[in-house]
Amino acid sequence: MPEKKTAVKKQTKQKKQKKQTLVIVESPAKAKTIEKYLGAGYTVRASMGHLIDLPKSRLAVNVENNFQPEYITVRGRAKLLKELQKEAKKSDEVLLASDNDREGEAIAYHLRSAFEEKIKAPIYRIVFNEITPQAILDAVKNPSDIDESKVNAQKARRVLDRLVGYNLSPLLWKKVKNGLSAGRVQSVALKLICEREKEVENFIPEEYWTLDADFIKGKSKFTAQLVQYNGKKPTLASENDVNDIIKEIQNASCSVLDIKDTDKTVRPKPPFTTSKLQQTAANRLGFTSKKTMQVAQQLYEGINIGSSRVGLITYMRTDSVRISPVAVEEVRKFIGDTFPKELPPEPIEYSAGKKVQDAHEAIRPTYVTYTPEYVKEFLTRDQLRLYSIIWERFVSSQMKNAKNRTTSVDIQAGNALFRLSATKVIEKGFYRVIKTLSKKEEKSVSLPSLSIGETLEPLKFYPEQHFTQGPARYTDASIVKMLEEKGIGRPSTYAPIISVLLERYYVNRSNKQLVPTQLGKMICDILVESFPAVINENFTAEVENNLDKIEDGKLDWTKMMSDFFFDFKERVDELMGSLESYKGMMDEKTDKICELCGKPMVKKLGRFGFFLACSGFPECKNTRSIPLAKCPRPGCDGEIVARKTKGRGKEFYGCTNFPDCNFISHFKPINAPCPNCGQFLVEKYTKKHGSFKSCINPDCNYLHTAESENTDVEGSEEIE
Least confident range from 2-11, 175-184, 569-578, 710-719: namely 710-719
Together in a domain, 457 and 551: no
Both 646 and 557 in a single domain? no
Check which CATH number belongs to the domain holding 510 and give it. 1.10.460.10
List the one residue out of 497, 494, 99, 458 whose CA is nearest residue 247: 458
Residue 718's pLDDT is 36
Average pLDDT, integer, range 513-518: 92
pLDDT of residue 608: 65
Which CATH number is 85's domain given? Answer: 3.40.50.140
- Same-domain status, 83 and 63: yes
Burial of 518 from C-beta contacts in 10 A (0-12 / 13-18 / 19+): middle
Residue 609 is assigned to a structural domain of this protein: no
Q: Does 10 have pLDDT greater than 70?
A: no
Of 311-320, 383-392, 691-700, which gets the smallest average pLDDT? Answer: 691-700
Domain boundary among 374, 396, 418: 396
Same-domain status, 139 and 37? yes
Mean pLDDT in residue range 514-540? 92
User: Nearest 10 degrees: CA dihedral of 251, 257, 261, 264?
Assistant: -70
- Distance between CA atoms of 530 and 536, rounded to whole angstroms? 12
pLDDT at 717: 35
Instruction: Give the pLDDT of residue 439.
Output: 47
- The answer to whether the peptide bond before residue 659 is cis (omega within 30 degrees of 0) is yes
18 vs 552: which has the higher pLDDT: 552
237 with 294, same domain: the answer is no
Which residues are 221's β-sheet partners?
216
In a domain, 12, yes or no: no
Is 490 within the bounds of a domain? yes
Average pLDDT over residues 382-391: 97
- Before 618, cis peptide (omega within 30)? yes
- Asked if the structure places residue 587 within a domain, the reply is no
Q: Is the pLDDT of residue 140 over 80?
A: yes
Same domain, 574 and 492: yes
Asked if residue 601 belongs to a domain, the reply is: no
- Cα–Cα separations (whole angstroms), residue 634 to 298, 444, 445, 679, 692: 58, 51, 50, 11, 26
Query: Would you say residue 445 has pLDDT above 70?
Result: no
Task: Please tell me which residue in 109, 300, 315, 474 is annotated as part of the active site.
Answer: 315
Q: Is residue 195 included in any domain, yes or no?
A: yes
Is 685 labeled as catalytic in the residue annotation? no
> Is 430 a domain residue?
yes
> What CATH number does the domain containing 374 carry?
1.10.290.10
Q: Could you tell me if 540 and 509 lie in one domain?
A: yes
Domain total of the chain: 5
Mean pLDDT of 519-546: 92
Predicted confidence (pLDDT) at residue 438 exceeds the cutoff of 50: no
Q: pLDDT (tens digit, 9 = 90+) per residue, 638-668?
A: 888 888 777 666 778 888 888 889 888 888 8
Residue 671 has pLDDT above 80, yes or no: no
Q: Is the CB of residue 102 less than 8 Å from the CB of residue 69?
A: no
Same domain, 198 and 212: no
Residues 408 and 263 in one domain: yes
Instruction: Write down the pLDDT at residue 8.
Output: 45
Q: Tell me, yes or no, whether 22 and 50 share the same domain.
A: yes
Query: Which pLDDT value is given to residue 156?
Result: 97
User: Diameter of the chain by CA atoms?
Assistant: 117
Residues 6 or more apart in contact with residue 526 via CB below 8 angstroms: 172, 175, 176, 579, 582
The domain of 88 spans 18-146
Residue 135 to residue 132: CA distance in whole angstroms: 5
Domain end position, chosen among 146, 162, 183: 146
pLDDT by residue (tens digit) across 34-92? Answer: 999 998 999 999 999 999 999 998 999 999 999 999 999 999 999 999 999 999 999 99
Cβ-Cβ contacts under 8 Å for 642 (sequence gap 6 or more): 625, 626, 628, 651, 652, 653, 668
Residues 333 and 225 in one domain: no
Q: What is the average pLDDT score of the chain?
A: 88
What is the reported pTM? 0.84
| Assigned domain for 602 exists | no
| Res. 384: pLDDT tops 50 | yes
Residues 98, 33 share a domain: yes
**Final residue before a domain boundary, out of 448, 467, 486:** 467
